[in-house]
Amino acid sequence: MEQPYVVVGASLAGAKAVEALRAEGYRGPVELIGEEPDLPYERPPLSKGYLQGKTPRAEFEVHSADWYRGNDVALRLGTAVTAIDPDGHTVTLADGERLGFAKLLLTTGAAPRRLPVPGGDRPDVLTLRRVGDSERIRARLVPGARIVVVGAGWIGLETAAAARLAGAEVTVLEVAELPLLRVLGREVAQVFADLHRAKGVDLRFGVQVAAVEDGGVRLGDGSLVPADTVVVGVGIKPNAQLAEAAGLEVDNGVRTDEHLRTSHPDVFAAGDVANAFHPLFGRPIRVEHWANALNQPATAAKSMLGRDAVYDRVPYFFTDQYDLGMEYTGYVEPGGYDRVVFRGDVPGREFIAFWTSGGRVLAGMNVNVWDVTDPIRELVRSGRTVDEERLADPAVPLAGLAG
């Protein structure tokens, strides 16, 4: 009997992978296995429209149940894979069943980090990754509720925005001096600090959380920040345990080459879990963004089918907070730039920021300015040196600068 192509992890990357296998014309058996009970869904609305009660659940399913049936994809939901055996070509399910595979794709994603302090693992300390988490938090976002968010990253800030929009009192605790400092650097991080302060969020920087207690969050200086609800957004860790236990190369996620092949020739990885060699940057990067989970699976599927495919897209992500929408295209290591060039109206929050190094654009972020992702991507990809005065000048078309 023909062994199936097995995909472990039934979220965005997993669902796009089975779609790509069929789109590539593969007609053999395909199994998609996921431990969550729900049909694969996209996560960005969980901290935005769904958390605000605006976006209905059905809008962010990747495919309908009919799609999987119609494309002959065997879906095993509510089913955790507990072990993989790459040489033996089997996966073991939580109930002990073993399933053979011809090729295996790991799309196991990532899980929220907990706060490493006393009380950090209390059940009432909430994190936000799954649809149930979003529903649990949403139920607490009521006028006057005291919501304390630990961590001023993307998830923390989007949660703070949803809480303010619901009329809650919001305090954000952050160990760094500014929100998103590592990803954006000081110049642009300030934009997000100003935004949340203007919306009435009590932002506290340079604070250490010492413990979570019944009444709230205890800080390193001994003071207590009172809280009805504590939401923690202090980053995620890749779900690489299966790969690690099977002896695959794991280093900040499952290491893959540019074809998304792991250290075993029949096992592949994509999405948040994959630390994939990126030809544009000349080294592996692990991207924790929607667009990566959306696009990498097509390359993984082709590679599984023995076709020559390379994943070299420029990373891209987006956020929506209050009336600020932004897209970010590119990749910058913390501190890995020498200038930020602004084009447009920064106080009015309608601008593009470019991170440059030696006159080359590493990344661009458009804030409330639209339809510029293509030229920004070309600027990043081209690696060309650009005149920074022209880069700052809204009258100079971006497409021209990219060549």
Mask for 112-151, x = binds ligand FAD (CB under 6 A):
----------------xx----------------------
Cross-strand pairs, 169: 146
Single out the residue of 287, 305, 306 nearest to residue 296, CA to CA: 287
Nearest residue (CB) to ligand FAD, 141 versus 391: 141
**Which residue number places its CB atom closest to ligand FAD?**
109
Single out the residue of 175, 231, 166 nearest to residue 200, CA to CA: 166
In single-letter form, the type of residue at position 218 comes to R
Query: Residue 108 and residue 8: Cα distance in Å, rounded?
Result: 6
- 193 is written with which tokens? 């600090």
Mask for 349-378, x = binds ligand FAD (CB under 6 A):
------------------------------
**Minimum CB distance to ligand FAD, residue 147 (Å):** 16
Mask for 13-32, x = binds ligand FAD (CB under 6 A):
xx------------------
Nearest residue (CB) to ligand FAD, 46 versus 232: 46
User: Binding to ligand FAD by residue 36, rule CB under 6 A?
Assistant: yes
The residue behind tokens 């190369």 is 249
Q: Where are the alpha helices (DSSP H) in 208-335?
A: 241-245, 290-304
CB 35 within 8 A of CB 109: no
* End-to-end alpha carbon distance in the chain: 54
Q: Considering only residues 374 through 403, tell me which ones interact with ligand FAD, judged by CB under 6 A.
A: none
Which CB contacts under 8 angstroms, 24+ apart, belong to 383-387?
384/360, 385/358, 385/359, 385/360, 386/356, 386/359, 386/360, 386/361, 387/359
User: Binding to ligand FAD by residue 250, rule CB under 6 A?
Assistant: no
User: Binding to ligand FAD by residue 35, rule CB under 6 A?
Assistant: yes
Q: Which of 18, 52, 103, 107 binds ligand FAD (CB under 6 A)?
A: 107
In the complex, which residues of this chain contact ligand FAD (CB under 6 A)? 8-14, 33-36, 43-44, 46-47, 80-81, 107-110, 128-129, 155, 239, 242, 271-272, 288-291, 293, 317-319
